[in-house]
Amino acid sequence: MYILSNEQVVFSFQTITGKEVIVAKDTGNKYLVYRFGTGGNIEFEFPGSKEHSWDKFEYSFYLRGGGRQNEGMDLNYLQFTNEGYKYVVYNTYFASDNKSRVGVKVIQLSNNKIINIQGLVKSRKGSLGDFRNNEKIRQGDELFD
């Protein structure tokens, strides 16, 4: 996992193809960063510049309790846009099938084609839910499930 000494992991997981997804922040909350790749090879990092990085991300969530009888769910999404694509890091739970899911949806904005990069739930560390009460990140209402 590629992380700098001044960073802490907010949320991370391994994909089913062995890549790593990391959302990290500077320990002083100066910046937020997304990385995709392997431990020694970052294939994609966003944003390129850490200045004003919090403004480039948006967090949205939906929470409904009540278990299976109420089709309870806990949906968490962190999104950003880069070069014609929207990237949506997700961590979801649906009581109806009692399953959690993690991954990244890459949406091509020109045609809404979606590539879903699925993650391994057992490899998940941290929580996107940490953004719920964080005033540094924009709060949105767009859901992706």
37 burial type by CB count under 10 A (0-12 exposed, 13-18 middle, 19+ buried): middle
Sign of CA dihedral 84, 42, 46, 117: positive
Cα separation, 24 vs 38, whole angstroms: 15
Indicate the domain borders of the chain: 7-132
Order the strands of the 113-118 sheet from edge to edge. Answer: 113-118, 99-108, 85-94, 73-82, 58-64, 138-139
Q: Rounded distance, CA 51 to CA 47, Å?
A: 9
Name the phi and psi angles at 109, rounded to 5: -70, -25
Span 78-113, pLDDT tens digits: 999 999 999 999 999 999 899 999 999 999 999 999
Amino acid (one-letter) located at 63:
L
**pTM > 0.85:** yes
Q: In order along the chain (145 residues), what is the average pLDDT of each group of 10 residues?
A: 90 97 95 92 93 96 82 94 98 93 98 98 96 94 87
User: What single-letter DSSP state applies at residue 84?
Assistant: T
